[in-house]
């Protein structure tokens, strides 16, 4: 599906991360892009299409190499494993929320849905468990136990 200019492409797990953002990031370029797009999402209630592949936030991330999320990987094998883990995280969120890839949603509606479905840490056991940001993430730490 071709993306229109006024639509933000978002991988499903970023619906969680964006809510917990408090200034940490992988590089200055990454943070600059994240903050710009997050402001657009919050202030204009922009349309979003969901994906389980690299999105408009990944595009400025130093961890994205040839469309693969290589975060903390030291070999191709590790990179592929890491990417697979991230895709599974996105897919688990899509499945649990019954949201669809490549369909337009309003950002505000998506936030309501994920916050309702994932209201406590138990629901996130298999999603956020390996995330290195979990203890700093304002959204994750705000979930009930
Ligand atoms: S490339 Fe990986 S680490 Fe970077 S924003 Fe995308 S999913 Fe996150």
The pLDDT profile of the chain, 145 residues, written as one tens digit per residue, is: 555 657 999 999 999 999 999 998 899 999 999 999 999 998 877 899 999 999 999 999 999 999 999 988 899 999 999 999 999 999 999 999 999 999 999 999 999 999 999 999 998 988 987 888 888 899 999 998 8
Q: What is the model's pLDDT at position 130?
A: 81
User: What pLDDT is recorded for position 132?
Assistant: 84
pLDDT of 4:
60
Q: How far is CA 5 from CA 9, 46, 47, 93, in A?
A: 10, 11, 10, 25
Distance from the alpha carbon of residue 9 to the mean position of ligand 1, in angstroms: 13
Whether the CB of 63 sits within 6 Å of ligand 1? yes
Residue 104, pLDDT score: 95
**Euclidean distance between CA atoms 41 and 88, whole angstroms:** 24
Domain spans of the chain? 7-135
Ligand 1 centroid from CA 48, angstroms: 18
Closest residue to atom 6 of ligand 1, CA basis: 58
∠ Cα 102 29 109 (to 5°): 35
Burial 6-19 (b: 16+ CB within 10 A, else e): ebbbbbbbbbbbbb
Q: What is the reported pLDDT for 49?
A: 97
Q: Which two tokens stand for residue 57?
A: 């936030």
The whole-number pLDDT of residue 3 equals 59
């Amino acid at each position: 599906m071709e993306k229109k200019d006024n639509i933000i492409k978002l991988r499903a797990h970023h619906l969680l991360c964006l809510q917990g953002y408090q200034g940490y990031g992988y590089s200055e370029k990454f943070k600059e892009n994240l903050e710009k797009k997050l402001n657009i999402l919050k202030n204009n209630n922009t349309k979003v299409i969901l994906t389980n592949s690299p999105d408009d936030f990944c595009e400025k991330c130093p961890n994205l190499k040839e469309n693969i999320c290589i975060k903390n990987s030291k070999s191709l094998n590790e990179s592929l494993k890491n990417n697979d883990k991230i895709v599974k995280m996105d897919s688990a969120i899509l499945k649990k929320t019954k949201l669809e890839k490549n369909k337009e949603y309003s950002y505000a509606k998506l936030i309501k849905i994920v916050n309702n479905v994932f209201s406590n840490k138990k629901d996130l056991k298999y999603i956020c468990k390996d995330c290195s940001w979990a203890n700093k993430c304002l959204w994750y730490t705000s979930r009930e136990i």
